[in-house]
Amino acid sequence: MAQLVLALILGLAILTWVASGVVETTARGWFERDVGDRSRLVLVSAGPSLAGAWSNQSSLGQHLAELARDERVMGAAACGLDLQPRAATPGFPTDFGCWAIGARLRSGGAGSSIREWSTVADPPSGRIHVSVMPVSSEAGQLGFSILLHDLSYIQIREEKARSFLLAAFCLLALLALLLPVFAARWARYGWNTELRTFLRGGGRGGKREFQPLLKDVRELVERMAHERDDVPGQWTARRLKQALNRHLHGERVVIVSNREPYLHERTQGGIEVRHPASGLVTALEPVMTACSGVWVAHGAGSADRETVDANGRVRVPPGEESYHIRRVWLSEEQESGYYYGFANEGLWPLCHIAHTRPTFRAEDWRQYQAVNRLFANAVCEEVDSEDPIILVQDYHLALVPALIRERLPAATVIMFWHVPWPNAERMGICPWRDELIEGLLGSSILGFHTQLHCNNLIDSADRYLETRIDREHNAVAKSGHRTLVRPYPISLEWPVKWAEAAASPRDCREQVWHELGLKPGALLGVGVDRLDYTKGVEERLLAVELLLETHPEYRGRFTFVQLAAPSRTKIERYRQLNDAVEKVAARVNERFGAEGYRPIVLLRAHHEPAEVYRYYRASDVCYVSSLHDGMNLVAKEFVASRNDLRGVLVLSEFTGAARELTEALIVNPYNLEAAAGALAEALRMPPGEQADRMLAMRSVLAQFNVYRWAGTMLADAARLRSQERLSSRLSARQPAMV
């Protein structure tokens, strides 16, 4: 027996040694590829601003310093085609200077162009990633930029991985040593009782010696899981797909929301596909395209019924067809009570502090319950296992998590609430608050944009329901079921496909100038919203009015174009808003308009994303003035659209986005003087400052994109899932108490 154990330990040692070599090489390759991609992204984004500052050494130096702000960047330099440095960050190593690099990459003789290039160098001081990118203006190549990344942190990671493997080896060796002891005891007492006691962590005094061991294993697994999710580098559609495969073994995802990602509309020219104006859809569509699966949603388009198969399904996106929509059909009565009534006259004003009184009607509530059941049934028809992963979206479907849990107790339900959650006192005015919270607590994970909204939900559950609150882990337990409540700020895909496909900012500007009849030298502001009272459109136009009143130099020169998508027009409050906005626009145009000049252009229509991005890229300033907003993706879209690093974002402090886009000009939209002042500041902001702010905001968006949003939620769900599976296995094996 002793020989067998020794052979086992020797075998394990050899296996560990071989595995550590393979792990090291593979992980190093991944890390280096990530750093390469990141360097490339940084240099490509910085290209226009470096070109703009080329002839000004100090401004060029500032841009380089900005690039080198990340602690892993060792230095950045800008070099001319004569291989002379134009500017460099302090202490830039001469071994990688303009001459050393440029001479290697020159395509011809002196002054010839330099191509894009990257490599990993291994000097005695430690590994370095070198990235080179040409810098060009319209006149041709000006020179090139160099970015150096310190890769020593990869070595540190490798050492950590080695210690993990060593720890695993020690544990396995320990287990191998304990094996004979077990064998002897099993032979005497029977293996079954022994294993149960061991898995329970030892019920009688003698077995407690295994508890520290189990604790160590658990901690090790936990730490390794976190390590893998925290790997630096950008989240992409591919990485999300890999994470889904790794954590959830490729199980397909089911999304359910009221709004569908593609509507089929009948028009005079035939059936057209539309992208609805919805932050939810903007964010989730790329996730679904990456993950594939099924999206259950209300079929609201006039030609939706004509475009589905016998099961109400249609494959999308048109041309790509990577997932399918399962449409749920609602009668007019159902839509009126559930969507217009309870969701949008009750919950919407309840959740947003925008001073519109919520209306609660018993009949609307009955329809809300019935329609939530319809959605839950459709989801259960679409799943392909007993324990599917279901992502439920938004305030229209608060009862769906509990309804799914009734039918599929092992499902992992992630509910994401896209709007704010009010404080407990305010929530208290809803006659069906208990049922709503109970419905939500059917979820495994309940996500909000901010920690504040998580706290509000936990307080509401604490105040109105019989629950056990675990504040340390942000969890609520009700009737034996536990829900984790977590903030996951939503975002955009990166890069955004609409920005990639758009014409150059100069061409966009030319087209928009032509469409709006603007004069050369005019300045343009843009607002993009559903016409909703929470968006502060009236306040925005009043700020423009005050700007023109207090800054006469902008009269005749500054135009504000508002793209307003009609929304929820069957509700009286939305019709009132429409009239009020129209009135303010007419008054401002009356006061400050002149022959051939309209200060406010109100475009009340649905605009497809390609058109919206054209306006973003043509504008000098974008003003997002929401009175209250969970996140607001318009702010993020504007930043994503400006790969030329121009334009200024003026952003309401009452949006979730203001917590992340801190380089915007942040304003209180109720404070018209401050808002008008911010608009004036935006219009006179020098291009260098615009570029600095844009660069900073764009790097936040690149890093915290929607793939990361979804990846983090799915990884949390996967952890929860394995914990639940483990504990249900343990309890199934636990002997009955006598």
Closer residue to ligand F6P (CB): 261 or 505: 261
Binding mask 566-605 vs ligand F6P (x if CB under 6 A, - otherwise)?
-xx-------------------------------------
Q: Determine, following the binding rule CB under 6 A, whether residue 394 of this chain makes contact with ligand F6P.
A: yes
Tokens of 662: 């801190």
Residue 650 backbone phi and psi in degrees, to 5: -105, 125
Q: Which of 129, 259, 628, 698 binds ligand F6P (CB under 6 A)?
A: 259
CB of 500 to ligand F6P, least distance (A): 24
> Which residue is closest to ligand F6P by CB?
278
CB of 365 to ligand F6P, least distance (A): 18
The type of residue at 179 is: L
Which span sits near ligand F6P by CB under 6 A: 76-84, 277-285, 376-384, 499-507? 277-285
Closer residue to ligand F6P (CB): 132 or 658: 658
CB of 713 to ligand F6P, least distance (A): 17
CB of 567 to ligand F6P, least distance (A): 5
d(CA 393, CA 399): 11
Closer residue to ligand F6P (CB): 45 or 562: 562
Q: Which residue has the tokens 């609520």?
A: 476
Secondary structure (DSSP) of 519-552 = PTT-EEEEEEEES-GGG-HHHHHHHHHHHHHH-G
Binding mask 129-168 vs ligand F6P (x if CB under 6 A, - otherwise)?
----------------------------------------
CB of 363 to ligand F6P, least distance (A): 20
Closer residue to ligand F6P (CB): 505 or 630: 630
CB of 344 to ligand F6P, least distance (A): 6
Q: Which of 278, 444, 578, 699 binds ligand F6P (CB under 6 A)?
A: 278
In 300-361, alpha helices (H): 332-335, 348-351
549-558 burial string, b = 16+ CB within 10 Å, else e? Answer: eebeebbbbb
Q: Determine, following the binding rule CB under 6 A, whether residue 460 of this chain makes contact with ligand F6P.
A: no
Closer residue to ligand F6P (CB): 197 or 626: 626
Residues 528-557 contacting ligand F6P, CB under 6 A? 530
d(CA 379, CA 294): 9
CA 211 to chain centre: 40
424-461 burial string, b = 16+ CB within 10 Å, else e? Answer: bebbeebebbebbbbbbbbbbbbbbbbeebbbbbbbbb
Q: Are 36 and 234 in contact (CB under 8 A)?
A: no
Closest CA to 481 of 433, 427, 434, 412: 412
Q: Are 667 and 675 in contact (CB under 8 A)?
A: yes
Closer residue to ligand F6P (CB): 118 or 282: 282
d(CA 675, CA 688): 22
656 half-sphere exposure, CB direction, 13 A CA radius: 25
Which span sits near ligand F6P by CB under 6 A: 248-256, 273-281, 550-558, 677-685? 273-281
Closer residue to ligand F6P (CB): 345 or 394: 394
d(CA 288, CA 391): 11
Closer residue to ligand F6P (CB): 280 or 665: 280
CB of 279 to ligand F6P, least distance (A): 4
Closer residue to ligand F6P (CB): 364 or 644: 364
Binding mask 477-516 vs ligand F6P (x if CB under 6 A, - otherwise)?
----------------------------------------
Closer residue to ligand F6P (CB): 419 or 710: 419
Closer residue to ligand F6P (CB): 467 or 567: 567
Q: Determine, following the binding rule CB under 6 A, whether residue 279 of this chain makes contact with ligand F6P.
A: yes
Q: Determine, following the binding rule CB under 6 A, whether residue 419 of this chain makes contact with ligand F6P.
A: yes
Tokens of 686: 């020098």
Tokens of 623: 């003003």
CB of 257 to ligand F6P, least distance (A): 7
Secondary structure (DSSP) of 622-687 = EEE--SSBS--HHHHHHHHH-TT---EEEEETTBGGGGT-TTSEEE-TT-HHHHHHHHHHHHT--H
Closer residue to ligand F6P (CB): 444 or 567: 567
Residue 315 backbone phi and psi in degrees, to 5: -85, 140
Q: Determine, following the binding rule CB under 6 A, whether residue 626 of this chain makes contact with ligand F6P.
A: no
d(CA 652, CA 242): 36
Residues 15-74 contacting ligand F6P, CB under 6 A? none
Q: Which residue has the tokens 């983090």?
A: 712
In the complex, which residues of this chain contact ligand F6P (CB under 6 A)?
Answer: 259, 278-280, 394, 418-419, 530, 567-568
